[in-house]
Amino acid sequence: MKISIIIPIYNVAAYIRNSLLSVLNQTYKDLEIILVNDQTKDNSMDIVQDILRTTISEFPIRIINHKKNQGLSAARNTGINESTGEYLYFLDSDDEITTDCIETLVKQVDKEYPDIVIGDYRVIGSDDFYPPLRLNTTMIKGQTNILKSYVRGQFYVMAWNKLVRRSFILSNNLFFKEGIIHEDNLWSFQCACHAHKLAVIKHTTYLYKIRKNSITTLSSQEKEIKDSKTVLKEIVYYANKLHLLTNKHVTLFIEKEKLRLLHTFLRYSKTVSIEDLHTFIVTLPRPTLIQLLQYDFFHKRRLVRDAYYFLPPYLSQQYYSLLPKMIVKYAHGKIKDTLSFYQWFFCILFYLVRNRFPKEFHLPKT
Q: Which pTM does this prediction carry?
A: 0.94
Alpha carbon 309 to its chain's center = 25
pLDDT, position 214: 46
Q: What is the pLDDT along the chain (366 residues), one digit of tens a residue?
A: 999 999 999 999 999 999 999 999 999 999 999 999 999 999 999 999 999 999 888 899 999 999 999 999 999 999 999 999 999 999 999 999 999 999 999 998 877 899 999 999 999 998 889 999 999 999 999 999 999 999 999 999 999 999 999 999 999 999 999 999 999 999 999 999 999 999 999 999 999 999 876 455 667 888 889 999 999 999 999 999 999 999 999 999 999 999 999 999 988 866 678 999 999 999 999 999 999 999 999 999 999 999 999 999 999 999 999 999 999 999 999 999 999 999 999 999 999 999 999 988 999 998
pLDDT, position 268: 81
- Residue 364's nearest CA partner among 346, 354, 214, 352 is 346
Q: Which residues of 57-92 are buried (b: 16+ CB within 10 A; e: fewer)?
A: eebebeebebeeebbbbbbbbbbbeebebbbbbbbb
What's the rounded Cα separation, in Å, for the pair 198 and 145?
10
- Residue 38's nearest CA partner among 8, 2, 78 is 8
Q: Which amino acid is at 167?
A: S
Alpha helices in the chain (DSSP H): 16-24, 44-54, 72-82, 101-112, 143-151, 166-171, 183-194, 218-241, 248-267, 274-282, 289-296, 300-306, 313-321, 323-326, 335-354
- Residue 116's nearest CA partner among 78, 166, 170 is 166
Contact between 179 and 155 (Cβ < 8 Å): no
pLDDT, position 227: 95
Q: Could you give phi then psi for residue 242, rounded to 5 degrees?
A: -90, 10
Q: Which residues partner with 207 through β-bridges?
A: 96, 122
What's the rounded Cα separation, in Å, for the pair 143 and 193?
6
What's the rounded Cα separation, in Å, for the pair 170 and 85?
13
Residues 6+ apart with CB under 8 A from 127: none
pLDDT, position 213: 63
Residue 239: strand, helix, or coil:
helix
Q: Which amino acid is at 353?
A: V
pLDDT, position 271: 67
pLDDT, position 55: 86
Residue 243: Cβ-neighbour burial (10 angstroms; 0-12, 13-18, 19+): exposed
pLDDT, position 220: 82
